[in-house]
């Protein structure tokens, strides 16, 4: 993930797109944790 972000920055990646990607990554991580907790409680 970090390598991908670095490559995008090197190739002149748009800052807005980078922020969107970061938000998406954090959101996905939180969602996966919630699903994990839900499955554990079943």
Cα 25 from Cα 18, distance rounded (Å): 10
Range of the domain at 32: 2-41
Residue 41 confidence (pLDDT): 92
Q: How confident is the model at residue 13 (pLDDT cuts 50, 70, 90)?
A: low
Residue 19 has pLDDT above 70, yes or no: yes
Backbone angles phi, psi at 13, to 5 degrees: -70, 140
Q: For the chain, what is the domain count? A: 1
Cα 26 from Cα 13, distance rounded (Å): 19
Give the per-residue SS3 of the chain. Answer: CHHHHHHHHHCCCCHHHHHHHHHHHHHHHHHHHHHHHHHHHC
Residue 32 confidence (pLDDT): 95
Kindly state the percentage of the chain with pLDDT values over 70: 76
Residue found by looking up tokens 């939180």 in the block: 30
């Amino acid at each position: 993930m970090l390598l991908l972000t670095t490559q995008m920055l090197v190739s002149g990646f748009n800052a807005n797109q980078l922020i969107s990607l970061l938000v998406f990554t954090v959101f996905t991580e939180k969602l996966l944790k919630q699903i994990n907790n839900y499955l554990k409680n079943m």
